[in-house]
Copies of this chain bind each other. A is one copy, B any other.
Amino acid sequence: MSVKKQPVTASDVAKLAGVSQSTVSRVFIDGSSVSAAAREKVFAAAKELNYRPNAFARSLTTNESKLIGLVFPDSDYPIHMETLQLLSKELQKNGYSAVLIPWELDAQQQHSIPNIFQYRVDGVMAASAQFNTALYEECQDFNIPIVQFARVEEGTSCSSAISDNYSAGKLAARTLVERGAKKLAYLTGDIPSYTNNERLEGFTEELTDLTGSAPREINTSYVYEQALEGIRAVLAADDRPDAFFCSTDILAIALMDVAKNEFGLSIPEDFQVLGFDDIPQASWLGYQLSTFKQDFNRLAKEAVKQLLKQVQTDDQTMVKLMIPVELVERGTLRSK
């Protein structure tokens, strides 16, 4: 074992400061009654000894760890890194730290999820696209609040902070119709999700209201390479849509890539495209994709706020926070 420097404890500080250990402890607890004089002496001693309260010892008595388990996004989808930053910083701001819970566990490893609970996280933020049932049940068992970030798993009861996908869908329909689209399609991946359904529902309802007919729904894969084939089929057919609302920017980009590179088509002349997410690539020179931007900053703030509320109070009311989405116009829509 490594020769770890003997850590300095509250008692060491107490000795140097000439006060009791209890007093040292109080100095580091907000709202404790300590005289200014004692406080000074303790701070001085603590600084000299480079003292840090031991969070483990603390949580042993307080029964709260100030640790939040973070189930983080699985794919390398371009915005996830930012999301993680936001979430982590927001937690930090509130005095909490994030412990990573790797989402991908095979059957044999399933038992390692419980391991995370050896650390007694106060709450769990689920930001992964996959939803881990074992994790969910474990949280239920231990009465640990869990909130879902930018996702909703149906059939579970946890709070969530998500973008207003339904309204985005409606706005997409309205916008595309306004710009003269006649044959609209909704291009999406292969994994069903609540957020995707909401978006499709909004899109369909609004379009039906406006034109009397529903959009064509095209299912392919969320993975660029695997989406290509399906897209080729759609573009090659006679009934090619003249407007696509894509459920991710990656899909929109895959669509544009095959349209331009393999079919010699122009956008928005041959068809209009609307994406979703506003990933960095959406603004690249070759794409200039019009898309919906999710307010991840606000999503993170709200999600953390809600989680901490559930952690710190008895109020376990499940709430679904809806954050508006913004249409970012670039070059893949016709002008009005």
What is the distance, in angstroms, from A122's C-beta to the closest C-beta of chain B?
Answer: 9
Shortest CB distance A259–B (Å) = 10
**Interface 0/1 of A76-109, CB less than 8 Å to B:** 1111111011001100100001111010100001
Residues A286 and B261 in contact, CB atoms below 8 Å apart? yes
Residues in B neighbouring A73, C-beta threshold 8 A: 81
If A76-B79, A76-B81 touch, does A70 touch B100 (CB 8 Å cutoff)?
yes
Residues of B within 8 A of A285 (CB): 228, 254, 257-258, 261-262
Does A335 belong to the interface (CB within 8 Å)? no
Cβ–Cβ contact B89 & A81, under 8 A: no
**Which chain B positions have C-beta within 8 A of A336?**
none
Indicate which residue in B72, B112, B119, B143 contacts A84 across the interface (CB closer than 8 Å): B72
A330 close to B (CB within 8 Å): no
Q: When chains A and B are docked, how far (Å) is the Cα of A143 from the Cα of B2?
A: 10
Determine if A2 and B54 form an interchain contact, defined as CB atoms under 8 angstroms apart.
Answer: no
A74: CB under 8 A from chain B?
yes
Distance in angstroms from A325 CB to nearest chain B CB is 19
**Is A281 in contact with chain B by the CB < 8 A criterion?**
yes
Interface of chain A residues 297 through 336 with chain B (CB within 8 A)? 310-314, 316
CB pair B104–A280 under 8 Å, yes or no, is no
Contact with B along A54-69 (1 / 0, CB 8 A): 1111111001110100
Give the distance in Å from the alpha carbon of A117 to the alpha carbon of B97 in the complex.
Answer: 11
What's the nearest-Cβ distance from chain B to residue A307, in Å? Answer: 12
- Considering the chains assembled together, what is the distance between the CA atoms of A52 and B258 in angstroms? 53
* A185 CB within 8 Å of chain B: no
How distant is A262 from chain B, measured CB to nearest CB, in Å? 7
